[in-house]
């Protein structure tokens, strides 16, 4: 499918992004702040000087529904340092989120210690990132004993497994933090029944921990959900917003633990990962069965989507992407989208039912608690890597201009 006016649309999209209030707001952090953190300041659009900064909690109208959004500008670094001056953040687990959130907290100057299994992969990764054993790198129990705010970033299965050991250490006055509602919401399955006398909060970045880190380094921030499960001090909401900013969030959207975990499990199994992979495979297989070459099938299924069209949806929405395409493409896409929606909606309803019933949680706990889960997962990744579609993709990517010598 040809996207005729693609370059015109892209040019216009870039102009739009450079002049949008959101972009301008992101660039407001002064260059000196970046210099202090040893970071490169992002490029500034010319209009920054005239931009009037607006601050405060925002009630934003999302398509007719008003929602509360908090923003990073309300919590400058100095305010964060003051707010957490008596706290030690004990960050338990150093996977994708532990790495991103931990390094951002450290760069923000907060008192953070890491707790992981000694000599496991995470211990090695933490050493690599400059955490120092005995100073800010400990085993899990020792880190918890030092912490006032316990940030549980173990894998969801490990949160359940280690709970009998962790729970007695969560004494009155401490705060328990998660980045997923999984453990407390599905407590019948996970057995994570939080003590009644501590604040329990959640900041869940809407993206990988690698992105949490890379956006922070670019002077931007990831979108995160924030929620309060239990507020015994009356300060839980304020605390989670401050902590959400400290880990590297730009905008924080208020939700509940239950809504966060339901939407997250549903989304990743659907459009974000599982559903999109299934759709790619179905389209590719039909093209191959109908005599198209691997390169043609891959280009028409994945490469054009990710390189040309999805970035247009990201920039300005679906109508913007349609507008960038030929009249022929538009007509067919509008006609067929309804049929895809009607066919797929029952599948999405089944998926939501499965999430709500705890079936997805049960499966995740069972699979990810096995001692050889990493090996089994690697075997599944190998099978995906070796599918013809992804082998063809590797060859196609090598032809991208940036991959040419
Ligand atoms: N990844 C994301 O994109 C993402 C996004 C938003 C929220 N979250 C949430 O953030 C939390 C952390 O997820 P993640 O993806 O960063 O980490 P993860 O890869 O799921 O978990 C890795 C960590 O768990 C530790 N671990 C595993 N089994 C253990 C056990 N039996 N005892 C002690 N430690 C154990 C690992 O240590 P070893 O190296 O020693 O095995 C490692 O430090 C989860 O609640 C997740 O749902 C993740």
Residue 277's Cβ-side half-sphere holds a number of Cα atoms within 13 Å equal to 12
The pTM assigned to this predicted structure is: 0.85
Sign of the dihedral through C-alpha 216, 220, 226, 232 = positive
Task: Check residue 5 and give its pLDDT.
Answer: 40
Residues 13 and 6: their CA atoms lie apart, in Å, by 10
Task: Check residue 349 and give its pLDDT.
Answer: 98
Task: Check residue 12 and give its pLDDT.
Answer: 42
Contact 151, 92 (CB under 8 A): yes
Active-site choice (16, 99, 180, 292)? 180
Pocket test for ligand 1, best of 90, 92, 96, 211 (most atoms within 8 A of CB): 96
List residues bridging with 202 in a β-sheet: 178, 227
Q: Is the CB of 121 under 6 A from ligand 1?
A: yes
User: Which residue stretches of the chain have pLDDT < 70?
Assistant: 1-56, 405
C-alpha of residue 96 to centroid of ligand 1, in Å: 7
Chain centre to alpha carbon of residue 105: 16
Q: Is the CB of 278 under 6 A from ligand 1?
A: no
Residues 117 and 138: their CA atoms lie apart, in Å, by 8
C-alpha of residue 259 to centroid of ligand 1, in Å: 21
For residue 180, indicate whether it is catalytic: yes
C-alpha of residue 68 to centroid of ligand 1, in Å: 29
C-alpha of residue 158 to centroid of ligand 1, in Å: 7
Q: Whose CA is nearest to atom 25 of ligand 1?
A: 154
What is each CA distance from 122 to 127, 182, 389, in whole angstroms?
A: 8, 22, 33
Query: What SS3 state is found at 117?
Result: coil
What is each CA distance from 315 to 18, 43, 180, 326, in whole angstroms?
A: 11, 18, 27, 19
Contact 264, 180 (CB under 8 A): yes
Q: In what order do the strands lie in the sheet with 199-205?
A: 58-62, 65-71, 249-254, 222-230, 199-205, 175-178, 149-152, 89-92, 112-115, 137-138
Question: For 215-273, what is each residue's pLDDT tens digit?
Answer: 999 999 999 999 999 999 999 999 999 999 999 999 999 999 999 999 999 999 999 99
Task: Check residue 49 and give its pLDDT.
Answer: 28
Residue for token pair 């395409």: 325
Task: Check residue 1 and give its pLDDT.
Answer: 58
Q: Is the CB of 149 under 6 A from ligand 1?
A: no
């Amino acid at each position: 499918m040809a996207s005729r006016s693609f370059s015109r649309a892209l040019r216009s999209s870039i102009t739009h992004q450079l002049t949008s209030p959101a972009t301008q707001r992101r660039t407001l952090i002064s260059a000196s702040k970046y210099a202090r953190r040893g970071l490169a300041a992002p490029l500034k659009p010319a209009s920054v000087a005239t931009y009037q900064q607006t601050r405060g909690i925002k009630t934003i109208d999302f398509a007719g529904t008003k929602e509360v959004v908090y923003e990073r500008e309300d919590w400058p670094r100095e305010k964060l340092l003051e707010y957490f001056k008596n706290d030690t953040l004990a960050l338990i687990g150093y996977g994708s989120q532990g790495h991103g959130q931990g390094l951002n907290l450290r760069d923000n100057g907060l008192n953070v210690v890491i707790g992981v299994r000694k000599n496991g992969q995470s211990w090695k990764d933490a050493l690599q990132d400059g955490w120092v054993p005995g100073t800010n790198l400990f085993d899990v129990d020792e880190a918890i004993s030092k912490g006032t705010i316990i940030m549980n970033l173990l894998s969801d299965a490990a949160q359940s497994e280690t709970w009998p050991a962790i729970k007695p250490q969560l004494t009155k006055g401490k705060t328990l933090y998660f980045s997923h509602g999984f453990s407390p919401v599905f407590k019948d399955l996970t057995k994570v029944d939080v003590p009644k006398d501590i604040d329990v909060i959640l900041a869940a970045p809407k993206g990988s921990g690698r992105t949490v880190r890379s956006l922070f380094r670019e002077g931007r921030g990831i979108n995160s959900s924030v929620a309060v499960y239990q507020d015994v001090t009356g300060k839980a909401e304020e605390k989670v917003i401050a902590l959400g900013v400290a880990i590297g969030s730009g905008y924080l959207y208020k939700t509940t633990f239950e809504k966060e975990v339901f939407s997250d499990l549903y989304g990743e199994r659907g459009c974000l990962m599982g559903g999109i992979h299934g759709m790619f495979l179905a389209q590719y297989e039909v093209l191959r069965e109908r005599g198209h070459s691997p390169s043609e099938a891959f280009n028409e299924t994945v490469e054009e989507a990710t390189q040309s069209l999805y970035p247009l949806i990201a920039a300005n929405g679906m109508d913007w992407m349609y507008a960038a395409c030929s009249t022929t493409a538009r007509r067919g896409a509008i006609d067929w989208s309804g049929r895809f929606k009607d066919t797929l909606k029952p599948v999405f309803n089944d998926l939501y039912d499965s999430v709500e019933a705890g079936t997805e949680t049960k499966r995740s706990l069972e699979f990810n608690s096995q001692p050889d889960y990493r090996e089994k997962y690697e075997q599944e990744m190998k099978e995906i890597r070796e599918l013809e579609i992804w082998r063809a993709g590797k060859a196609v990517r090598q032809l991208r201009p940036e991959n040419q010598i």
